[in-house]
Chain A
């Protein structure tokens, strides 16, 4: 158990809908990262937050947004969902950007 929690574990929704994925980092970790894992794209970095502030952005679509709250938990919002958004979404946390990241169990999103 990495200490990072993610909810829900599975999510099935229809195209055009909006969903929110939630992540709670390990105790004491200030950095939160979101990654998308799909068969064709592999593991891709989406966005990073550090202590509430956006720190880095990767291949995140404009339809996707995220935030980190004062209690350090983070949410990833995915809107206008398309079939191609079906993937495993991981949250990770670390003490600082240069340290190892610990990953949550992931949320498997299926868009039908």
Chain B
């Protein structure tokens, strides 16, 4: 069965620091998707990135970057030069494709607080 673990429950950083949010996943499937979502204090869930299991290239989008490593079953998320607006709960999620496109399984989330 699939599982997503976000070991860091809460992280607090000072503005402009870099921060990495860890995500470790478990799946028996060879074909799957990994996602990151952001939930700001307003409550909505905002899609950040989707990565398929065949693409291990790291991705950078502005201050955000993602490091996908199949060898360690990890999909970590780094925010460079953090800002107060980055304060939110971040969720990592997994979807398997092998048995017919399973819905998202979420980790418990990491609450990031960026202090000015």
Contact = CB atoms under 8 A, between A and B. Distances in A.
- Which bucket holds chain B's interface residue count? 20 to 34
Given A33-B103, A42-B109, A48-B103, A100 B45 contact: no
Contacts of B55: none
A45 B43 contact: no
B43 A98 contact: no
Interface of A, helix, strand, loop or mixed by DSSP: strand
Interface string B22-43: 0000000000010101000001
B97 interface: yes
A72 to B, nearest CB: 17
A58 interface: yes
A102 B35 CA distance: 12
A45 B101 CA distance: 13
Interface string A74-112: 000000000000001010100011111111111010000
Interface in A1-55: 2, 33, 35, 42-43, 45, 48, 55
Nearest to A96: B101
Contacts of A97: 95, 100-101, 103
Contacts of B108: 42
B27 to A, nearest CB: 14
Interface of B: 33, 35, 37, 43-47, 50, 91, 95, 97, 100-109
